[in-house]
Amino acid sequence: MTTAFYHDERCLWHTTGEHALIIPVGGYVQPPAGAGHAESPETKRRFKNLLEVSGLWKKLAVRDAAPVTTEDMLRVHSEDYLKKFKDVSDAGGGNAGYYSPFGRGSYEIATVSAGLVKQGVQDVLTGAVSNGYVLSRPPGHHCLSEASMGFCLLANIPIALEAARAAHGALRVAVVDWDVHHGNGTEAVFYDRDDTLTISLHQEACFPLDKGAAADRGAGKGLGCNLNIPLLPGGGHQAYLDAFDLLVAPALRAYRPELIVVASGLDANGVDPLARMLAHAETFRAMATRIKALAAELCDGKLLCVHEGGYSELMVPFCGLAIVETLLGEKTDVIDPMFDIIHAQQPPADMIAFQRARLEAQAKAVFG
């Protein structure tokens, strides 16, 4: 079995400018003393570094890729958006949408990030690799066809899937998004289509504030092909396992995809600055174990994880390592240093039961 890891140093050179967490410096907002904008390269760099020092790096098929082409991007994005993005990037940076700052050269870097995802989809589909993880940056799951959003500058996964369809023909794909924020961009691209099942597990009303409702199930031919699973803040480890067992697994089995792509945000961890979900590295290992087994059952193991959010420099490497260990079928001696603390902070039994009851009610509404 070959597990690939897709990475390009240029992705870590994308800059978001001077911010304090997510707010631009200016007025009463002082320049930061530390990392600055939440979407910094350090979480990804430390993830890659931990793979190296743990010894896993030598067991991975490490690959890069060509940037996506304008033709690739135009299958998903409007010409007006791409022109605006390129013009602002060339002029020194700014914004081309909502909460998505970038600097000079970020247009070209974003095409590299999307290119890594395109190559990963191609390799998994053709059997060149068994599965893979793409360390994409800038991320993509919030990006709309006509505007950037939420740190996301290109719709990385939709671009890759449409390129695969252009090359190979019709393709049934399931996108499972476990980023703590709703995958509104991916949802919007495929909302009225039945060739892509989109599933998003996310903290309720986190970001975007008005997206991710359980009632949003798709439209037209896509009715029933969108599944939102909003989780209560502080839901913790068990909420994710219950969501998988009650909703994600049955939905995947009913849809029977030919490929599963995970939008792998790692920001549900218990110390992430932009969420409140109390997951730990073992949560991500458990979800990865479940999704790998489902891929083996449904689509000959064809599985690709694509990096999205995650803003704790401490926790992202350990959560990511747990996923890659699972893809490889290996276990290192690395231990999540925050496990004992986050485990002790898990919600009480009555809250766990309340969250599960909500999920059971949703499952009954979806599956009958």
Alpha-carbon distance of 56 to 161, in angstroms, equals 28
Alpha-carbon distance of 96 to 86, in angstroms, equals 9
Helix (H, G, I), strand (E, B) or coil at 256: coil
Nearest alpha-carbon partner for 158 in 128, 188, 192, 194: 188
Note if the bond before 138 is cis, omega within 30 degrees. yes
Q: CB neighbours of 147 closer than 8 A, spacing ≥ 6?
A: 81, 96, 97, 98
Choose the catalytic residue: 14, 19, 77, 142: 142
Question: 273: which 2 tokens?
Answer: 């600055």
User: Is residue 142 annotated as a catalytic residue, yes or no?
Assistant: yes
Beta-bridge partners for 362? none
Tell me how far CA of residue 262 lies from CA of 120, 137, 141, 179, in angstroms: 12, 15, 11, 9
What separation, in Å, do the N-terminal and C-terminal C-alpha atoms of the chain show? 38
Nearest alpha-carbon partner for 236 in 318, 359, 355: 355
If you search the block for the tokens 């053709």, which residue do you land on? 126
If you search the block for the tokens 């949802």, which residue do you land on? 187
CB 102 within 8 A of CB 94: yes
By DSSP bridging, strand 19-20 and strand 3-6 are unpaired
Note if the bond before 208 is cis, omega within 30 degrees. yes
Helix (H, G, I), strand (E, B) or coil at 326: helix
**What Rg value do the Cα atoms of the chain yield, rounded?**
19
Alpha-carbon distance of 28 to 30, in angstroms, equals 6
Could you give the dihedral angle defined by the CA atoms of residues 159, 165, 171 and 172, in that order, rounded to the nearest 10 degrees?
20
Helix (H, G, I), strand (E, B) or coil at 216: coil
What positions carry a catalytic annotation?
142
